[in-house]
A and B are shown apart, each in its own frame.
Chain A
Amino acid sequence: DSGVTQTPKHLITATGQRVTLRCSPRSGDLSVYWYQQSLDQGLQFLIQYYNGEERAKGNILERFSAQQFPDLHSELNLSSLELGDSALYFCASSVESSTDTQYFGPGTRLTVL
């Protein structure tokens, strides 16, 4: 158990809908990262937050957005969902922005029908 929690574990929804994925980092970790894992793309970095502020951005679509709250939990919002958004979404956390080691949560499996 990495100490990173994610909810929900599974999410099934329809195209065009909007969903919110939630992540709680390990106790004391200030940095949160979001990744998308699909069969044909591997682990793709989406976005990083550090202590409430956006720190780095990867291949995140404009339909996707994220934020980190004062209690350090983070939410990833996915809107106007398409079939191709079906994937595993992982959150990872690290102690601070200068730390290399990331600890991953168990993921949220999103299925868009």
Chain B
Amino acid sequence: GENVEQHPSTLSVQEGDSAVIKCTYSDSASNYFPWYKQELGKGPQLIIDIRSNVGEKKDQRIAVTLNKTAKHFSLHITETQPEDSAVYFCAAKMAGGSYIPTFGRGTSLIVHP
């Protein structure tokens, strides 16, 4: 089955800095990669996703890059703000709702004002 490794487990940055979270996956058949943000006391919320037919996707201050050859993908957050503080999860799956995503263990991002 799929195995997703996520690093780092904790990331501490100053407000305004950039943050990068990296994930690797094992199953070359995976072609859908969502990222979720989980704030304290809430459920995971989808913030961005990427499919294997593109290498990069941006949405305002967040971007995701995908390297299918190396089987890794990364989340980039620029100009971090205190409200970006949360736990971020990456996931990998084959496209299609009958396939279930495998999640990374999560990265706790702390943005210091």
Judge if A103 is at the interface, Cβ distance under 8 Å. yes
- Count: A-B pairs, CB below 8 Å: 57
Nearest A residue to B46 by beta-carbon distance?
A101
Interface residues on A, range: 20 to 34
Judge if A100 is at the interface, Cβ distance under 8 Å. yes
The interface centre, meaning the residue of B36, B42, B43, B98 with most chain A CB atoms within 10 A of its CB, is B43
Residue from A4, A50, A98, A105 in contact with B96 in the complex, judged by beta carbons closer than 8 Å:
A98
Residues of A within 8 A of B100 (CB): 33, 45, 48, 56, 58
A2 close to B45 (CB less than 8 A): yes
Judge if A13 is at the interface, Cβ distance under 8 Å. no
A42 to B87, CA, bound (A): 11
Residues of A within 8 A of B104 (CB): 42
A38 to B45, CA, bound (A): 17
B101 close to A102 (CB less than 8 A): yes
Residues of B within 8 A of A55 (CB): 98
Interface residues on B, range: 20 to 34
B45 close to A104 (CB less than 8 A): yes
B32 close to A100 (CB less than 8 A): yes
Nearest A residue to B102 by beta-carbon distance?
A45
Judge if A31 is at the interface, Cβ distance under 8 Å. yes
Q: Mark B2-28, 1 if CB is under 8 A from A, else 0.
A: 000000000000000000000000000
Q: Which residues of B are in contact with A by a Cβ distance under 8 Å?
A: 32, 34, 36, 41-46, 49, 89, 93, 95-98, 100-101, 103-106
13 A-B contacts, Cβ less than 8 Å apart?
Answer: A42-B103, A42-B106, A90-B44, A92-B43, A94-B97, A98-B97, A100-B32, A100-B49, A100-B93, A105-B43, A106-B42, A106-B43, A107-B43
